[in-house]
Amino acid sequence: MTDRNFSSDNVTPACDAVMAALNAANHGAVPSYGNDEWSVRLKALVGEIFEKPVSVFAVTTGTAANSLALSQLAPPFGAIYCYEAAHIVTDECGAPEFFTGGAKLIGLPAADGKIRPQQVEHAVASAIEMGVHHVKPAAISITQATEWGTVYDLSELAAIGAVARQRGLAVHMDGARFANAVAHLGCTPAEATWRRGVDVLSLGATKNGALCAEAVVFFDAARADAFERRVKRAGHLWSKQRFLSAQLLAYLEHGLWLKNAQHANTMATSLAVGLQGVAGARLLHPVEANEIFIALPETKVAALEAEQFKFYRWPVGDAGSGVSIRLVTSYSTTQDQVNDFLAAAAR
């Protein structure tokens, strides 16, 4: 039987190229703590991909990448503006507060997961008026692709960048699914980041083919000052760091990351298109990356569950008489798996 797990892109194995790279790196004595050739090559490669000299720090998890990045951008008494249901707000067990020493995430409402510059502007103006009694405006954090599988387009990004510049805020992008967003946008990585005002990117790889690798990318080296000590004191500097860098190298070389993401996006679109033919189905968000939020009749959902399909019932709030569920595709999802799901949904 085909694998029927659409619960998340983090239930996947590592892709072959990444695993091969890991095995290839496993020979001989190699300098520890990042003083190895893989780590050096990684920095160069990320610079090439983003068309700019960068500072790159490979870490193990997205939570670490996000929280470390934010701790560099906001003081303990700082405000970080973000979507009120962003991953950093709801799914990281307070990691940003821990790493920043207590900075405050100011959650802004956003039906499609995309915050608007006016919201930030309003919040900053209010903060300034309150003065010392309120946390100090410091940063914006956006998720790309968003928690709802939507993608900020280039003009939306530019607008966020503009308000940030105007108000002296740094911009962080949680790119756990950055590859999916870039594949959707069809632009260069540079166009989707620093050319639109992004200062620091959490570049995800784990969901898209790595075992355990993310990278914090600073587009201005000056912003990365002493960052390596934040990594170290959080226990996120590996002694055998080559094994982390090697994963990212394989992931980023030869465009593998975008190929994987494009595939996941295509599978998601295929699934979404097919599901829209099901009676009572209603897409809750545009499918722009590799996540589908869709309302289906309760009986349909229960039937799919009974057939061992794995996915989350995911309250979105406007599922009407149906049940809203989340389906996630990945680099390893096959058209057969999609067809299998669609066939079951049609039954």
> If binding is defined by CB under 8 A, does position 14 make contact with its own copies?
yes
Task: Give dist(CA 276, CA 257) in Å, integer.
Answer: 29
23 counts as binding its own copies under rule CB under 8 A: yes
Least Cβ distance, residue 314 to its own copies (angstroms): 11
CB of 216 to its own copies, least distance (A): 11
Span 40-69, contacts to its own copies by CB under 8 A: 59-65, 67-68
323 Cα distance to chain centroid? 26
User: Of residues 224-263, which lie at the interface with its own copies (CB under 8 A)?
Assistant: 226, 228-230, 232-240, 243-244
Window of 73-81, 144-152, 261-269, 290-298 that interacts with its own copies by CB under 8 A: 73-81
Which residue, 10 or 299, is less far from its own copies as judged by CB? 10
**Among 75-83, 117-125, 163-171, 257-265, which window interacts with its own copies (CB under 8 A)?**
75-83
- In 3D space, the residue among 26, 30, 33, 58 whose CA is nearest the CA of residue 45 turns out to be 58
For the sheet with 200-204, list strands across it.
55-59, 214-218, 200-204, 170-175, 136-143, 78-83, 104-108
Distance of CA 210 to the CA centre of its chain: 14
316 binds its own copies (CB under 8 A): no
3-state secondary structure of 174: strand
Go through 189-202 and write b for each residue having 16 or more CB atoms within 10 A of its CB, e for each that does not: bebbbbbbbbbbbb
CA nearest neighbour of 66 among 90, 34, 41: 90
Size of the site for its own copies (CB under 8 A): 72
Could you tell me the smallest distance in angstroms from the CB atom of residue 265 to its own copies?
19
Output the smallest distance, CB 74 to its own copies, in A.
Answer: 10
Which residue, 130 or 279, has its beta carbon nearer to its own copies?
Answer: 130
Stretch that binds its own copies, among 23-31, 38-46, 144-152, 269-277 (CB under 8 A): 23-31
Q: Which of 211, 278, 281, 316 binds its own copies (CB under 8 A)?
A: 211
Measure CA 133 to chain center: 33
**329: contact with its own copies by CB under 8 A:** no
Residues 91-120 that bind its own copies (CB under 8 A): 91-95, 97-98, 100-104
- Alpha carbon separation from 283 to 66, 195, 276 (Å, rounded): 29, 32, 7
Specify the residue, 153 or 228, whose C-beta has the smaller distance to its own copies: 228
H or E, element range at 50: helix 37-50
Amino acid of residue 121: E
Q: Which of 41, 116, 136, 282 binds its own copies (CB under 8 A)?
A: 136
By CB under 8 A, the residues from 181 to 210 that bind its own copies are: 206-207
Cα 56 to Cα 34: distance, rounded to the nearest angstrom: 11
